[in-house]
């Protein structure tokens, strides 16, 4: 995925401390290689957020936009990385859920991987949709009215969901395709 397939597109990545390292950095890299400008958005005025890599803390990632300053209208898509801590914390931040809801209301692509779909539940966006996630979220998603399936990537309307780091290439390709350009 090189070149400028999605040149001029802006993508928001909403995360906080404890995001799964590869689920933020790898989609970000692939989307940037395809020509997008990718902004990392985080709450509490953080200048950087720290990832989780397998069984320990990972690398810090620079925050480009404070959550309080982020506007859905500035972006063409939203990416929600997983990790257990990251979405669990974001679910309790009203501004994070409000931003996700704004993307939902605008009909722009929302891509969530691993535990990222937890935040989609709180934003009220999964009922009646097919989704996938890390297996432990299956019951939560079904209880929220989603139809869960065990697939590398699931596309349903504006929602793009994937299960785990191994799915990242398909996940990034689906985001690029959703932005109107064949990957």
Q: Which of 77, 114, 121, 144 is the catalytic position?
A: 114
Does residue 121 belong to any structural domain of this protein? yes
Q: Is 129 a catalytic residue?
A: no
- Domain assignment of residue 27, given as a range: 10-178
Strands (E) across 15-90 are located at: 19-20, 37-42, 48-53, 56-62, 65-66, 77-80
Does residue 41 belong to any structural domain of this protein? yes
Q: Is 114 a catalytic residue?
A: yes
Q: What is the CATH number of the domain that holds 149?
A: 3.40.50.880
d(CA 142, CA 140): 6
Structure confidence at residue 2 (pLDDT): 45
> Between 1 and 9, where is the model more confident?
9
Structure confidence at residue 181 (pLDDT): 56
Q: Which of 115, 129, 163, 164 is the catalytic position?
A: 115
- Decide the pairing of beta strands 56-62 and 48-53: antiparallel
Does residue 31 belong to any structural domain of this protein? yes
Residue 53: left if φ>0, alpha if ψ -120 to 50, beta else—which one? beta
Per-residue pLDDT, averaged over 151-175, amounts to 98
Q: How confident is the model over 27-72, as pLDDT tens digits?
A: 999 999 999 999 999 998 889 999 999 889 999 999 999 999 999 9
Structure confidence at residue 4 (pLDDT): 62
Structure confidence at residue 107 (pLDDT): 97
Q: How many CB atoms lie within 10 A of CB 135?
A: 11
The total number of structural domains that make up the chain: 1
């Amino acid at each position: 995925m090189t070149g400028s397939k999605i040149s001029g597109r802006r993508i928001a990545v909403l995360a906080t401390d404890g995001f799964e390292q590869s689920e933020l950095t790898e989609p970000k890299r692939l989307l940037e290689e395809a020509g997008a400008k990718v902004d990392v958005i985080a709450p509490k005025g953080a200048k950087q957020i720290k990832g989780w890599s397998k069984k320990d803390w990972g690398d810090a990632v620079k925050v480009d936009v404070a959550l309080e300053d982020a506007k859905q209208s500035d972006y063409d898509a939203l990416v929600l990385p997983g990790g257990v801590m990251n979405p669990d914390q974001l679910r309790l931040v009203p501004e994070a859920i409000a931003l996700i809801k704004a993307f939902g209301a605008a009909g722009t692509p929302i891509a969530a991987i691993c535990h990222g779909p937890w935040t989609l539940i709180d934003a009220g966006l999964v009922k009646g949709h097919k989704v996938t996630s890390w297996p432990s979220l299956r019951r939560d998603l079904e209880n929220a009215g989603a139809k869960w399936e065990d697939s590398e990537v699931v596309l349903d309307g504006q929602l793009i969901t994937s299960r785990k780091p191994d799915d990242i290439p398909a996940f990034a390709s689906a985001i690029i395709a959703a932005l109107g350009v064949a990957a």
